[in-house]
């Protein structure tokens, strides 16, 4: 059996339900990718999530939710005295705004026990993490965390990195640049968004973004450009552009990149040619942004064999 493992932080999500009421859910960038990957990958793949949670009631409810959704939780540590992070979504002039509470989040200790981390990475065919995964860690833990992924990569795992930026999580712009560089040097596959890269690195063309990640050792780079064409580069095949999927109306852009990553990685994992995997990823993201929320069951056509 093959194994896909995403690493990061799943949080309690409180979304505005109107009349001063909030609806509780569970979401987080790498968890969202695992959730979509479970629906795309066949039954002979396990999809797991690596993180840390507490031993309180909400942590147990989160784990129960993951298991109901077909996500393996064997790679999650339970840490007494900690809990899970929480974020609240509110509307301001029609735009979504986010407030975060992460101070007691156990996920920040993901790299605290490297023996445990090496153990949960062992035997996984594909590993996925993001810049948010790195940002929530204490600065001193980022290199050891990436070192564990690099060891797994040397043993044959394919490592994918999404450069998902949340500037408020980083100590400084320099720390953010260093974090993205560290993550990219750890990975086979890098998934940047050009708007974010342009802001952080000052690049004026997606080809510059590709060239920078090539220098860091990536074998595959997929530069997302919002509603624009996707720029692909693969070491063996060179560059190619994949036309954007037209969308009549964007309802909620949450998890656009997360679902894209799931579509691309699941396609590659099951042997699709790169352009077909990219097409699957773009089609899924286009469906996701036309519905509210991060997790959109109707965006994945047909029931999952892995559920």
The tens digit of pLDDT for each residue in 105-158 reads: 999 999 999 999 999 999 999 999 999 999 999 999 999 999 999 999 999 999
Please state, rounded to an integer, the average pLDDT across all residues of the chain: 91
Confidence of residue 96 (pLDDT cuts 50, 70, 90): low
Please count the CA atoms within 13 angstroms of the CA of 222 that sit on its side-chain side: 26
**pLDDT band (50, 70, 90) for residue 186:** very high
Residue 276 belongs to a domain with what CATH number?
3.40.1190.20
Neighbours of 17 (CB within 10 A): 10
Q: Which residue range forms the structural domain that includes residue 131? A: 2-9+29-76+108-299
Question: Which letter, b or e, does each residue of 137-155 get, where b requires 16 or more Cβ atoms within 10 Å of its Cβ?
Answer: beeebbeebbbbbbebbee
152 in Cβ contact with 121 (< 8 Å): yes
Left (φ > 0), alpha (ψ -120 to 50) or beta: where does 233 sit? beta
* Contact between 261 and 160 (Cβ < 8 Å): yes
Is residue 91 a part of any domain in this protein? no
Q: What is the pLDDT of residue 92?
A: 62
Is 151 within a domain? yes
The pTM assigned to this predicted structure is: 0.93
Number of domains making up the chain? 1
Which band of pLDDT confidence, cut at 50, 70 and 90, is reported for residue 290? confident
User: Which pLDDT does position 261 carry in this prediction?
Assistant: 97
Residues 6+ apart with CB under 8 A from 120: 5, 50, 74, 75
Active centre residues (catalytic): 258
Domain assignment of residue 16, yes or no:
no
Mean pLDDT to the nearest integer, 267-293? 91
Listed in sequence order, the residues at least 6 apart from 34 whose beta carbon sits closer than 8 Å to its beta carbon are: 4, 6, 47, 48, 49, 71, 128, 262
Q: How confident is the model at residue 94 (pLDDT cuts 50, 70, 90)?
A: very low
Q: How confident is the model at residue 167 (pLDDT cuts 50, 70, 90)?
A: very high
Contact 248, 20 (CB under 8 A): no
Residue 142 lies in a domain: yes
Task: With beta carbons less than 8 A apart as the criterion, state whether 278 and 268 touch.
Answer: no
pLDDT at 304 over 50: no
Whether 305 maps to a domain, the answer reads: no
Cα(69)–Cα(75) distance, integer angstroms:
16
Q: Which of 67-76, 82-91, 122-131 has the lowest mean pLDDT?
A: 82-91
User: Whole-angstrom distance between the N-terminal and C-terminal Cα of the chain?
Assistant: 15
Q: What is the pLDDT of residue 103?
A: 85
What is the layout of strands, in order, in the sheet containing 86-92?
A: 21-27, 11-18, 86-92, 95-101
The region of weakest confidence among 89-93, 132-136, 273-277, 300-304 is 300-304
> Which strand (E) or helix (H) includes residue 116?
helix 114-121
Please determine, for residue 168, whether its predicted confidence score (pLDDT) is greater than 80.
yes
Q: What percent of the chain has pLDDT over 70?
A: 95
Query: Is 157 within a domain?
Result: yes
In a domain, 181, yes or no: yes
How sure is the predictor about 291, in pLDDT bands with cuts at 50, 70 and 90?
A: confident
Q: How many CB atoms lie within 10 A of CB 33?
A: 33
**Residues forming a β-bridge with 12:** 26, 86
Residue 202 lies in a domain: yes
- In 3D space, the residue among 197, 225, 196, 226 whose CA is nearest the CA of residue 209 turns out to be 197
Asked whether residue 3 carries a pLDDT value surpassing 90, the answer given is: yes
pLDDT for 301 equals 66
pLDDT at position 306 over 90: no
């Amino acid at each position: 059996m093959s194994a896909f493992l995403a690493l990061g932080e799943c949080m309690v999500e409180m979304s505005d339900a109107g009349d001063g009421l909030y609806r509780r859910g569970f979401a987080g960038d790498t968890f969202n990718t695992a959730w979509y990957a479970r629906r795309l990958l066949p039954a002979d793949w396990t999809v797991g999530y690596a993180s840390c949670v507490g031993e309180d009631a909400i942590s147990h409810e989160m784990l129960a939710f993951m298991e109901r959704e077909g996500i393996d939780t064997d790679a999650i540590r339970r840490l007494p005295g900690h809990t899970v992070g929480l974020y609240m979504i509110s509307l301001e002039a029609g735009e979504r705004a986010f407030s975060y509470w992460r101070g007691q989040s156990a996920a920040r200790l993901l790299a605290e026990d490297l023996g445990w981390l090496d153990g949960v990475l062992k035997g996984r065919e594909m590993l996925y993490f993001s810049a948010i995964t790195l940002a929530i860690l204490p600065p001193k833990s980022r290199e050891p965390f990436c070192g564990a992924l690099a060891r797994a990569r040397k043993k044959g795992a394919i490592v994918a990195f999404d450069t998902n930026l949340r500037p408020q999580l980083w100590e400084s712009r320099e720390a953010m640049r260093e974090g993205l560089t560290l993550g990219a040097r750890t990975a086979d596959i890098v998934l940047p968004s050009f708007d974010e890269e342009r802001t952080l690195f000052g690049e004026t063309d997606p080809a510059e973004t590709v060239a920078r990640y090539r220098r860091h050792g990536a074998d595959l780079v997929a530069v997302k450009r919002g509603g624009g064409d996707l720029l692909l580069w693969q070491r063996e095949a060179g560059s190619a552009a994949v036309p954007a999927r037209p969308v009549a109306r964007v309802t909620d852009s949450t998890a656009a990149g997360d679902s894209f990553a799931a579509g691309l990685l699941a396609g590659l994992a099951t042997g699709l040619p790169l352009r077909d995997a990219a097409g699957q990823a773009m089609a899924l993201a286009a469906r996701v942004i036309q519905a509210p929320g991060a997790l959109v069951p109707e965006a994945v056509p047909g029931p999952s064999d892995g559920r």
